[in-house]
Amino acid sequence: MSVPNVVLNNGIEIPQLGFGVWRVPSGQTREVVAKALQVGYRHIDTAKLYANEEEVGAAVRDSGLERDQVFVTSKVWNDDQGYDRTLRAFDASMDRLGFEVLDLYLIHWPADDLGTSVETWKAMEKLYLDGRIRAIGVSNFGPDHLGRLLADAEVTPAVNQVELNPYRQRRAVREADAEHGIATEAWAPLAKGGELLSDPVVTRLAATHEATPAQVVLRWHLQVGTIAIPKSVTPSRIEENFAAFGFELDEEELAALEALDRD
């Protein structure tokens, strides 16, 4: 299956459906990332905080794919924020990944209470302008956080990764991102499973399209334009999540999912 790409504001393309490894134990990460790449994923999302960058890098190298065929994201955590510390944190992440160039690097969380987000961004701008990162962005930033960052930024973030799913649609964030040409990326796109995937609206649409509830939710993400990074350690679900392209939701069905928003 061919995953559509989203063109970021600097012209770089990112696969709209990716594979997340948050809370995947380091001992399992290499195996599950290898499975995801074998299924067809070409976008892997990790972070220093996840403590599995080394395994992600090894799985990418072992896959037989060229490095430029796999889009990899990592993130700088709060205790590494600040100009010099961010530069050191990036070098450490690259050592663990075993890469020369990273596709996307994000500020993992707005550290406004530490007063370091702007200095962190300056370091990321340097890494980007030096050609060590293809795109830079942020994660978990609300409109106010974005406004404060953009006031001092030379480079506009390419991506804002936030918790987003039909139960938490983050309309204000998506509007602020769109205003600045920032792509919105969804972590926990399936709302961590459970209640959303058993919601009567979701299960009805799944039956209509002979799809799974997870595929219906991921199809919603694809059609509203967000980048989605579902996570699983179960091989059958890794395959299932990747198969969200064989049907399309109509306007009425999209509206029914939009009505699930709990803000």
In a domain, 215, yes or no: yes
Report yes or no on 254 lying in a domain.
yes
| Sign, Cα dihedral of 232, 235, 236, 241 | positive
Full domain range(s) for residue 247: 5-258
pLDDT (tens digit per residue) in 79-138? 999 999 999 999 999 999 999 999 999 999 998 766 788 999 999 999 999 999 999 999
Closest CA to 182 of 44, 49, 19, 14: 14
Model confidence over 23-54: pLDDT tens digits? Answer: 999 899 999 999 999 999 999 999 999 999 99
Res 1: pLDDT: 63
How many domains does the structure of the chain reveal? 1
pLDDT for the residue numbered 193: 72
Q: Is residue 263 assigned to a domain?
A: no
Residue at 53 is within a domain: yes
Within-domain flag for 195: yes
Question: Closest by alpha carbon to 75, among 112, 49, 103, 114?
Answer: 49
pLDDT in tens, 218-228: 999 999 999 99
Mean pLDDT of the residues in the chain: 96
Sheet with strand 19-20: strands edge to edge: 19-20, 43-45, 71-76, 102-107, 133-139, 159-163, 183-187, 227-228
Tell me what pLDDT residue 194 has: 82
Catalytic residues: 50
**Within a domain: residue 169?**
yes
Element (H or E) spanning 3, and its range?
Answer: none
| Residue 107 located in a structural domain | yes
Band (192; pLDDT cuts 50, 70, 90): confident
Is 149 part of a structural domain of the chain? yes
CATH assignment of the domain containing 77:
3.20.20.100
Q: Say which DSSP state 140 is in.
A: S
Closest CA to 112 of 73, 74, 84, 151: 151
The distance of Cα 84 from the centroid of its chain, to the nearest Å, equals 25
